Structure 1
Amino acid sequence: MKKKIYYLATCSTCESIMKELHIDMQNGFELQDIRTQKITPEQIDEMQKLAGSYEALFSRRALKYKELGLTDKKLTEEDYKNFILEHDTFLKRPVVIIGSQIFIGSGKKNIEALRVALNKLG
Structure 2
Amino acid sequence: MKKIYHLKTCDTCKRILNQLNLDGFEIQEIKSNPVNAEQLQEMYVLTNSYEELFNKRARLYKEQGLKDKNLSVEDYKNYILKEYTFLKRPVAIIDNEIFVGNSKKTVEALVSKTQ
> TM tier, shorter chain?
over 0.9
Residue aligning to 1:116: 112
Q: Which residue pairs with 2:15 in the alignment? A: 16
Q: Secondary structure at the match of 1:92?
A: coil
State the alpha-carbon separation in 2 of the partners of residues 60 and 38 from structure 1.
18
- Partner-residue secondary structure (3-state), 1:21: coil
Uncovered stretches (5+) of structure 2, i.e. residues with no partner:
none
User: Secondary structure of the equivalent of 2:19?
Assistant: helix
Normalised to the residue count of structure 1, the TM-score between the two structures is: 0.91
Contact between 2:3 and 2:92, CA under 8 Å: does it hold in 1? yes
The 3-state SS of whatever aligns with 1:32 is strand
What's 2:103 paired with? 107
> Is the contact between residue 19 and residue 111 of structure 2 (CA under 8 Å) also seen in structure 1?
no
Deviations 1:68-99 (A, max 9, x none): 00111000111001001111111110000000
Q: Does 1:78 align with 2:74?
A: yes
CA contact (8 A) 2:5 2:89 kept: yes
Greater RCO between the two (CA within 8 Å, min separation 6)?
A: 2
How many residues are paired up? Answer: 115
> Which runs of 5 or more residues in structure 1 are unaligned?
none
Deviation by residue 1:35-63 (Cα, 9 ceiling, x = unmatched): 11111100001100101110010010000
Shift of 1:22: 2.9
TM-score by length of 2: 0.97
Separation (CA, whole Å) in 2 of partners of 1:34 and 1:99: 20
Residues 1:98 and 2:97 aligned together: no
* Counterpart residue type for residue 2 of structure 2: K
Counterpart-to-counterpart distance in 2, 1:28 and 1:118: 10
Of residues 46, 49, 66 in structure 2, which corresponds to 1:50?
46
The reply on whether 1:66 has 2:66 as its aligned counterpart is no
What is the RMSD computed on CA atoms of the aligned residues? 0.8
Partner residue, 2:36: 40
Q: Percent sequence identity over matched residues?
A: 52
Moved over 3 A (4+): none
